[in-house]
Amino acid sequence: MTENDPHAHDSAEGRQNPGAQPGTEGQAAWSQSPTPGTPPASGEQATQQTPGYPQQGDAYAAPNPWSAQGAQTGPVRYNPYPSAGGATQQQPYATPGTSVYNVPSNAPKKSGSGKLLASVAAIALVIGGVAGGTVGYLTGGSSGPSVNALDQPKPAQQTGNAPAGSVESVAQKLSPSVVELQVAGRTAAGEGSGFVLSTDGYILTNNHVVEVAANGGQIQAVFQDGKKAAAKIVGRDPTTDIAVVKVSGVSGLSPVELGRSDDLRVGQPVVAIGSPFELSGTVTSGIVSSLHRPVQASGDETDQATVMDAIQTDAAINPGNSGGPLANMNGQVIGINSAIYSPNGGQGGPSGQSQGGNVGIGFAIPIDQARRTADDIIKTGHATQTFIGAKVADAPQGGAQLGDITPGSPAEKAGLKSGDVVTKIDDRTIDSADTLIAAIRTRAPDEKVTFTLSGGRTVQVTLGGQPVPAN
């Protein structure tokens, strides 16, 4: 990577990127055979058949009417009680008036009560639940008066505040501060999310949400209460995918509370709020799935690479969530939702420019980095980019290999040479060029860090800073 343009880097051929885009169940078929009736007493209709006494010559070759072949014409018969020898099946649900149980000539005689029960059982097989209930009543007695849920009164209305630390409480706290951003440029239009930083109208979002309006486009902010206001870009940084816009003519704005991202832990619950697919005010929840995930996504129209040192989450993030807050359970913003993983898309564009959807892998910019960049933009009108002044590529044996060193750069001043392979920055392992880029960008200019090179040599580097041109 040229650290004067620290986003461009020479990736090793064949290296895979997480494929970020900024921005059936089977059926179980159950077959249940009804309980057979008692064989009929002597003198009953000869056409009735009794399970366990198949009539010779009966054939049951018709396929299941619910099978892939579809329904069959004519009566279809199954034997719900197959013999151990693989006897053919009979259908206990025959055409009304036709018995499906053959009666052998030597059928045993039953008493009068047996006739009653056999008749009741036969009715149950034909009319299902109604006769089944009749059997229950005749044999088990009454179950008491009927109870109907429709007759019950409504429960008391919910009162009081949402429990502290719940998703509900986070949504109540943050939702008034989250906005939908509708953006239109000369050649494109889209929408995303953002959140209020100040009562006088500063809003933090992603660069890729607003970049189409950078040169004469329009941005409209839509608030939770339905109020709308025009917004203008204050500054943006394509290298970190961060931008600040400002609205005017709106009062009573509620700024968010910013948290910190340097002490996050994997498994920690989080909440995402935004406008996926223009569904404003959508709240989802999940956990922090991973930390310090280097994610490369497309940058602005000059194809300047963007690499985030991302927070990975399984909270549902979709196109339109970009720029919205990722919060902890205290309702403090700890990241900016920016990218989603696309298993079929490979390296893709921002989530707001993609047709992909959530697969349980989303990425957010850590708020510590975003906070520093936003502060620079608001105070100076442009972002300050951290750099070392060297090209970088993946090393064949792992790590990040330095290429050309810019004269007078922090890398040259520290004594780094072309061909050096960086394996650690302080205590963080560097396994690729993207990891090195992401690790440098999370640091502030003038910060001192220790590079560990392959072979064990260490070098202290004072990181540089350079302005990102405002546009």
Q: What is the pLDDT of residues 293-335, one digit of tens each?
A: 998 765 444 344 678 899 999 999 999 999 999 999 999 999 9
**Regarding predicted confidence, which is higher, 57 or 387?**
387
Of the candidates 424, 427, 414, 423, the residue with the CA atom closest to the CA atom of residue 462: 414
Predicted confidence at residue 297, as pLDDT, reads 67
Predicted confidence at residue 77, as pLDDT, reads 44
239 pLDDT tier (thresholds 50, 70, 90): confident
Predicted confidence at residue 137, as pLDDT, reads 47
259 pLDDT tier (thresholds 50, 70, 90): very high
| Confidence check: pLDDT of 112 > 80 | no
Give me the amino acid identity at 192: G
The proportion of the chain whose per-residue pLDDT surpasses 90, expressed as a percent, equals 52
| Confidence check: pLDDT of 367 > 90 | yes
Of the candidates 170, 176, 181, 175, the residue with the CA atom closest to the CA atom of residue 205: 181
The mean per-residue pLDDT over the stretch 84-91 comes to 44
**Regarding predicted confidence, which is higher, 251 or 210?**
210
Residue pointed to by tokens 């590079």: 451
Q: Is 91 within 8 Å of 100 (Cβ atoms)?
A: yes
Predicted confidence at residue 24, as pLDDT, reads 38
| Confidence check: pLDDT of 427 > 80 | yes
Least confident piece of the model among 76-90, 290-304, 404-418: 76-90
The mean per-residue pLDDT over the stretch 219-248 comes to 93
Predicted confidence at residue 403, as pLDDT, reads 95
| Confidence check: pLDDT of 445 > 90 | yes
Rounded CA gap, 178 and 194, in Å?
Answer: 6
355 pLDDT tier (thresholds 50, 70, 90): low
Give the Cα-Cα-Cα angle 333, 231, 325 (nearest 5 degrees): 15
Rounded CA gap, 399 and 396, in Å?
Answer: 8
378 pLDDT tier (thresholds 50, 70, 90): very high
Structure tokens of 467? 């302005």
Residue pointed to by tokens 């002490």: 263
Residues sharing a CB contact under 8 Å with residue 375, sequence separation 6 or more, in sequence order: none
- To the nearest 10 degrees (0 to 180), the angle between helices 112-127 and 129-140 is 150
In this structure, the number of other CB atoms found within 10 A of the CB of residue 429 comes to: 13
Predicted confidence at residue 219, as pLDDT, reads 96
Q: Is 271 within 8 Å of 257 (Cβ atoms)?
A: no
Q: SS3 helix, strand, coil % of the chain, rounded to 5?
A: 15, 30, 55
Range list of β-strands (E), 278-331: 282-297, 306-313, 325-327
Predicted confidence at residue 304, as pLDDT, reads 42
Q: Long-range contact list for 120-127, CB < 8 A, 24+ apart? A: 121/35, 121/36, 121/37, 121/38, 122/37, 122/48, 124/34, 124/35, 124/37, 125/34, 125/35, 125/36, 125/37, 125/92, 125/93, 126/93, 126/96
**Regarding predicted confidence, which is higher, 29 or 285?**
285
Structure tokens of 376? 């620079």
Coil, strand, or helix at residue 320?
coil
Structure tokens of 142? 């009454």
Q: Is 22 within 8 Å of 300 (Cβ atoms)?
A: no
Give Cα 469 distance to the centre of its chain: 35
State the catalytic residues: 208, 241, 322
Predicted confidence at residue 352, as pLDDT, reads 39
Burial class (CB in 10 A: 0-12, 13-18, 19+), 328: buried
The mean per-residue pLDDT over the stretch 179-189 comes to 92
| Integer-rounded Cα radius of gyration of the chain | 35
Structure tokens of 310? 């991302």
Residues 130-143: b if buried by 16+ CB within 10 A, e if exposed: ebbeeeeeeeeeee
| Confidence check: pLDDT of 448 > 50 | yes
Predicted confidence at residue 401, as pLDDT, reads 96
Give the H or E element holding residue 424.
Answer: strand 421-425
The torsion angles phi and psi of 412, rounded to 5 degrees, stand at: -65, -45
Rounded CA gap, 356 and 345, in Å?
Answer: 8
**Regarding predicted confidence, which is higher, 352 or 155?**
155
| Confidence check: pLDDT of 442 > 50 | yes
Give me the amino acid identity at 170: V
